[in-house]
Structure 1
């Protein structure tokens, strides 16, 4: 058998040193506020509604409808009150980075070990019991 060369180019490495592994290294985004998908959906829809009400052109390009479809598909909290309740739950944990809170509020893991697998930086920040309690509280606000 002969070795065939790959027909596609390898993806170039990202320009920054950012990574979200067991240690968060988000570079210039380290302490920037991060939104959950539900929060992003609320913000975008509120801006669009305001612009429409004011008679302004919403200037929709092909990306906006695709973004809204993505958010509608993956948003776990549809009601504004539920989004705010989840935000309060997450903000009650100052030991968590803003990025980690946004990930928890977007991914909606069922179990603490799952959350720590997909968000490895949580490992030494919160106990499994406390994380499970937080996940259980968050799940009460989910929209099916």
Structure 2
């Protein structure tokens, strides 16, 4: 229940994550990962929110479910970006096991990609169903 703060258990070059001084190469690597992953997910979520607002403001009531779908999809991508950020912090540091051994575990972002793929397939299949339903109206 009472676990130490993650920055206390993660280490880089035998320093705690909270007090480590990064080299310029490490800073470049971290900034590149933030631009690539966090920025891309955030831009996508903001784009989906904007598109949902356009649909809700410009079109008639028949299109409201499509606008709500894009708003929900934007929220889901925002949550995925938070999960990806949580995972990204673990890629640069090593963790200390309960027996005191420092271990480096590299994890790819494959599970994030699979999660985003599943969310996208669900959202676009729902969009297809909503568009098909519009044809019948």
TM-score range, shorter chain: under 0.3
- Name whichever structure is richer in helix by fraction: 2
- Name whichever structure is richer in strand by fraction: 2
TM-score normalised to structure 2 length: 0.28
TM-score normalised to structure 1 length: 0.27
Radius of gyration: which is bigger? 2
